[in-house]
Structure 1
Amino acid sequence: MGRPSVFEFAGGADAFRALAAAHHARCLADPVLDHPFSRGTHPDHVERLAAYWGEVFGGPARYPGGHTRMLRVHSGAEPGDGMGDRFVECFVAAADDAGLPTDPEFRALLRTYMESAVAEVFARAGTAVGDGLPTPRWGWSGPQT
């Protein structure tokens, strides 16, 4: 039997739900990160976020609209006020809040993924997002091709 997927190692869908809830709470509590939420979020935001991250790390494809939708939702993001770094730090701290495994390789992978995701969102700020973009998949060695 091979190594479990990152999704399985983290604890599956329940772990990603806990991570999404913890991250959302941290963003709302942050004086810079709460601004994007000031106009409200989808009622299923936390569940959708958990589904997206779960899919990225090897879970089932359950996020409606895939990577294209995620990028379109965030296409207006601007990197001002250290927002990207704050977002990553909230994500890393949320992994603790959610009780995810503390394995150093796993935690480094989570940070690297989120740094990459934030960089991609900011790089696309103000640009059109094409249709049908595949959701990135990350394994133990990083992004999968």
Structure 2
Amino acid sequence: MTTQTVEYIRYRIPQTRSAEFVAAYTRAAAQLAAAPQCVDYELTRREGDTGDDTGEDTGNDAHFILRITWTSTEDHLKGFRTSELFPGFLAEIRPYIENIEEMRHYAPTPVRGTGSALPTLHDWAGGAEAFSRLTSAFYDKVLKDDLLSPLFADLAPEHAEHVAVWLGEVFGGPATYTHTQGGHNHMVAMHAGKHITEPQRRRWVNLIQDAADEAALPTDAEFRSAFLAYVEWGTRLAVYFSGPNAQPPAEQPVPKWNWGAMPPYQG
């Protein structure tokens, strides 16, 4: 099993060459973006080095840190560096190799997360009340739908609220479903033997998007893409676990869904 690794390259670049250095990495980034071994990358510059923001006296040098996340150290060294992409990358950054102060791989630790400055999908949606509106509108549609209503013929009165609590936990809210209903495996068990078909799954996806509109959930592209990504992922698992050959999953926590590559639009 391979483990992602983070490569840090620290540069000390003369101020007179800093603009061309950034331009070179802008071009070199095309090779990184095309590399299947590269997860993500970021070039940062020490604040104050330009002499126009903090007023710090930094002399004649600018300090940069390039961070690249690789699928593994081996994939970087024996994959990317031996690939057809590497010569083009190296050609762009070769003039600055002599300016490298450190170049190392670092192994990730379990200490990671996001701060409160970035809202959870749960909070962005409007909290528990928003998910209650969503599932109320959704199951009202489901029970009137000729394709889905047979799956919910014996729907318990509290079912919609249980699903609201589940979605709230999935999207970053409190772990209420885990504490009151039994967590992930309980949700999986609810689908056993239902034999959900692909047309039924697709109808489910369409109706919950309609319900999201009716319940006035946020319509920004970032939220709705993350919302739909979970709905697609979750319903496809539901189809599998409802089938005759499904293997019950190992005990695991409720999945936690977050923003994708883009944060919520704050413009």
Q: TM-score, normalised by structure 1?
A: 0.90
Return the structure number with greater relative CO, CA threshold 8 A, min gap 6: 1
Is 1:23 matched up with 2:138?
Answer: yes
1:62-77 equivalences in 2 (<5 Å): 62-63=176-177, 64-77=181-194
Correspondence for 1:138 among 249, 257, 266:
257
CA–CA separation in structure 1 for the residues paired with 2:195 and 2:224: 26
In structure 1, runs of 5+ residues without a counterpart are none
CA–CA separation in structure 1 for the residues paired with 2:137 and 2:230: 17
Deviations 1:24-57 (A, max 9, x none): 111111100101111x122311111100000000
Correspondence for 1:59 among 173, 198, 204:
173
Paired AA for residue 137 in structure 1: K
Paired AA for residue 31 in structure 1: D
Q: TM-score, normalised by structure 2?
A: 0.50
The alignment partner of 1:139 has SS state of coil
Shift of 1:75: 1.9
The alignment partner of 1:30 has SS state of coil
Shift of 1:131: 5.7
CA–CA separation in structure 2 for the residues paired with 1:94 and 1:53: 14
**Is residue 32–residue 81 contact of structure 1 (8 Å, CA) maintained in 2?**
no
1:86-105 equivalences in 2 (<5 Å): 86-105=203-222
Shift of 1:80: 2.7
Count of residues in Structure 1 that have an aligned counterpart in Structure 2: 141
Amino-acid identity (%)? 36
CA RMSD of superposed structures (Å)? 1.6
**Is residue 197–residue 239 contact of structure 2 (8 Å, CA) maintained in 1?**
no
In structure 2, runs of 5+ residues without a counterpart are 1-115, 262-267
Q: Report the equivalent of 1:44.
A: 158
Q: Report the equivalent of 1:13.
A: 128
Deviations 1:47-98 (A, max 9, x none): 1110000000000011111111111001223343600110000111110011
- Greater helix share, 1 or 2? 1
CA–CA separation in structure 1 for the residues paired with 2:124 and 2:210: 18
The alignment partner of 1:85 has SS state of helix
The alignment partner of 1:138 has SS state of coil
